[in-house]
Amino acid sequence: MKQNGLLISIEGIDGSGKSTLAKELYMHFSQFHKTLLTKEPGDSELGAQIRTIVQKQDVPVCAKAEFLLFAADRAQHFEQKVIPSLQQNMIVISDRMADSSVVYQGVARGIDIDFINTVNAWAMSNHKPDVTIFVNTPPHIARERLIMRNKILTAFEKEHTQFMQHVHDGFCTLFNNRKNVIMIDGECDEQTVLHDTLRSLTPWLSDYETKQISTGTIVDRHA
């Protein structure tokens, strides 16, 4: 399906630094382009309620129900936030997207991945990220960061180290041969992570700006 904007997803395990990177990319791009910073789950009124359910999990939630809750959030997210923004030629930066379900509920929880992909495609109206940024951070480093935050951990952040290693390995395998994935060393400091990401995003951003210039949406700054 045609996308007029640029859809960027940012993936990684809990504590990887992906949320910080998402915010810094937004601050950078919003200086030059209409940009939306969003997240999954939780960036809609319905999604906020779902986020509370899946992150607190005050009652036991089975793996199938967990995935379907994320899928419901994703459908609302795309209908209400992502697709309208892409139609307005915006850059959309999403902290997590469909690949998180493939790894967390598919690889780590054991739900059929083909089923997850089918539901995700339906929930997203067959849209896909133009580029995915994977913040590759070892689980033991991510765990140390979560502890240093000195805040109440979510249900996923409380998961044992073996589970998070499984998730990390799942991301690495999933993204190993995907051409639209940028792998970033999450052990580096924040400024290095941002610099490396911006440099790697250059081809996608150049293509986006070229399309916007051709449609008259933005003026060529180099002309």
Give the CATH number, domain containing residue 183. 3.40.50.300
- Output the pLDDT for position 56: 76
**pLDDT score, position 61:** 83
Lookup: tokens for 84: 């309208």
**Is residue 144 domain-resident?**
yes
| Alpha carbon distance 114, 46 (integer Å) | 26
Return the bridge partners of 184, or none: 135
What is the residue range of 166's domain? 6-214
Residue 1 lies in a domain: no
CA distances from 6 to 2, 36, 132, 206, 217 (A): 11, 10, 11, 11, 13
> Is residue 115 in a domain?
yes
Would 220 be classed as within a structural domain? no
What's the pTM value of the predicted model, to 2 decimals? 0.90
Domain tally, the chain: 1
HEC sequence for 55-93: HHCCCCCCHHHHHHHHHHHHHHHHHHHHHHHHHCCCEEE
DSSP state of 154: P
User: What is the pLDDT tens value at each position of the chain, 223 positions in all?
Assistant: 456 799 999 999 999 999 999 999 999 999 999 999 999 998 888 888 988 888 776 777 899 999 999 999 999 999 999 999 999 999 999 999 999 999 999 999 999 999 999 999 999 999 999 999 999 999 999 988 888 876 666 666 566 678 889 999 999 999 998 999 999 999 999 999 999 999 999 999 999 998 888 776 664 444 3
Instruction: Answer whether residue 164 is part of any domain.
Output: yes
pLDDT of residue 223: 37
Residue 222 in domain: no
Residue 14 lies in a domain: yes
**Both structure tokens of 52:** 């509370």
Position 217 scores a pLDDT of 65
- Residue 81 within a domain: yes
